[in-house]
Amino acid sequence: MDKPAEMFDRDYEWSALSRFITDPQPGATLGVVSGRRRQGKTFLLDAACRAAGGFYFGATEAADAESLRRISTALSAHVRPASPFHFANWSEAVDALLALGTERPVPVVIDEFPYLAKVNPELPSIIQEALRPLREQRTGSRTRLLLCGSALSFMGRLLSGNAPLRGRAGLELVVRPLDHRLAAEFWGITDPHLAMKVNAIVGGTPAYRREFARGDSPKSPDDFDDWVVRTVLNPETPLFREARYLLAEEPDLRDTALYLSVLAAVADGNATRGGMASYLERKATDIAHPINVLEDAGLLHRDADVFRDNRPTYRISEPLIGFYHAIMRPVWDQLERPGSAHRVWQASHRRFVSNVLGPHFEQVCRDWALHHADSELLGGLAARVGQGVVHDPKSRTGHEVDVAVIGIADGAKPPLLAIGEAKWNDTMGAAHIERLRHIRDLITASGRYDTTSTQLLCFSGAGFNDKAHAAAAADPNIRLIGLATLYGQV
């Protein structure tokens, strides 16, 4: 299967689909494709069906009988049988889909599968029965049935626990947002400072450039402010209301007011359960359920503290939602009036840097350490990268560590490959390095990690002064990492 020339990246996803679809082994097989909305899942699967001569069906929110009529009509148009299909139930429909693969491996996609299962909860069980190992319709078919959905909470349960389809799938593919490097390339931005600011707003969601911003990308660093005003803060563009729609589209989020408030608390810097509860003036136990639901929906991410057990922090997974809650939601009435965007944005610069850009930069630094940093630079392969707070018993204070790189434990204490501090707007110097040295000593004294070869990483969006460069030149365990390194330009 040749990947379409107009498809940006997605090499890994296309290869996985190609192997699954073209697998010559007998017997129909099941695949599950999931991912947040606007990541290009539909484009990917539709292209795979076109390349392999398969059948694609996009479900809609509809009654069960209407969905059966729609798939009957679509399959009739695809197969052109002597008499059109009129499926009385989903068992008939699924068997007809399996019959497509009697002669060769063929992809069959049911997109937005959660819409169908919502009105007919028995559908996963019907597919389970259709794919029973010794059933004739399965053994005589090589249909590659792909179920796709954007409701992450539902898709996560589809193959878990005692779910009917558990153990039936031969492919579980998650289509993720583009990382910061690929996103910069996709948006056509070569300046790393500009790329980071754009990424802090729209993240790595492909649709936000092609469909939602109509290809509008900042032409230069000087164009960034105007770009924000004419795209995400412009009530005429789809980006303006996208964050609100993302929340409304999640089927498990019923009391949206409470979920919005939880996200607003996190966007305002309240990253712990206690902080969120205080912000909302509720007990921590009262917000446990909405936090779990937001996690399942892929909108909130839980980060364990690598230095303290049972002290997790939370961050908003989708940058656009974080930007909306930090910048747009507090002044929504202002923004809805055309012509107010420029004034609002001018008044929001400081909040953007502190509540959006700074935390996003820290997360990009952690992602870089996990996925892009050379293992030789870190002194080993990173097993996980997190953040945390190191307690100082003498001063009775806690020191925040923005980046903590944990290596692979080999029967002893896990090696702490590196600790780092990330500052977007500060020129880093000797004081930052001394702070990291002190923290490393505290970690050594605690005995939790092996700090024999722990590197000290300074991440900065504003650069480093002469003292920092001198310290790094004198000590190979000190690394200065700027934006060019994060974006692979050096």
Q: List pLDDT tens digits, range 207-230.
A: 999 899 999 999 999 999 999 999
Phi, then psi, of 59 in degrees rounded to 5: -75, 155
Tokens representing residue 166 in the block: 């558990």
Q: Which of 44, 59, 60 is nearest to 4 (CA)?
A: 44
- The pLDDT of residue 258 is above 90: no
User: What pLDDT was estimated at residue 385?
Assistant: 97
User: What pLDDT was estimated at residue 334?
Assistant: 94
From residue 131, give the alpha-carbon distance in Å to each of 14, 138, 373.
25, 6, 43
CA distance 90 to 282: 46
> Which residues, 6 or more positions from 163, have their beta carbon under 8 angstroms from its beta carbon?
124, 157
Q: What's the average model confidence in pLDDT over 382-409?
A: 95
> Which residues, 6 or more positions from 34, have their beta carbon under 8 angstroms from its beta carbon?
41, 148, 149, 150, 152, 155, 156, 173, 174, 175
- The pLDDT of residue 249 is above 80: no
**What Rg, from alpha-carbon coordinates, does the chain have?**
25
Residue 90 vs residue 256, higher pLDDT: 90
> Which residues, 6 or more positions from 229, have their beta carbon under 8 angstroms from its beta carbon?
341, 342, 345
- The pLDDT of residue 253 is above 80: no
> Which residues, 6 or more positions from 477, have their beta carbon under 8 angstroms from its beta carbon?
453, 454, 455, 456
* Residue in this structure with the two tokens 């007011």, named with its chain if needed: 257
User: What pLDDT was estimated at residue 192?
Assistant: 98
pLDDT band at 205 (very low <50, low <70, confident <90, very high): very high
pTM to 2 decimal places? 0.93
> How far is CA 123 from its chain centroid?
28
pLDDT band at 411 (very low <50, low <70, confident <90, very high): confident
Half-sphere exposure of 443 (CA within 13 A, CB side): 33
> Which residues, 6 or more positions from 5, have their beta carbon under 8 angstroms from its beta carbon?
none
- The pLDDT of residue 151 is above 90: no
User: What pLDDT was estimated at residue 161?
Assistant: 86
User: What pLDDT was estimated at residue 147?
Assistant: 97
pLDDT band at 348 (very low <50, low <70, confident <90, very high): very high
User: What pLDDT was estimated at residue 11?
Assistant: 95
Least confident of 38-42, 155-159, 463-467: 155-159
> What is the residue-averaged pLDDT of the chain?
94
pLDDT band at 163 (very low <50, low <70, confident <90, very high): very high
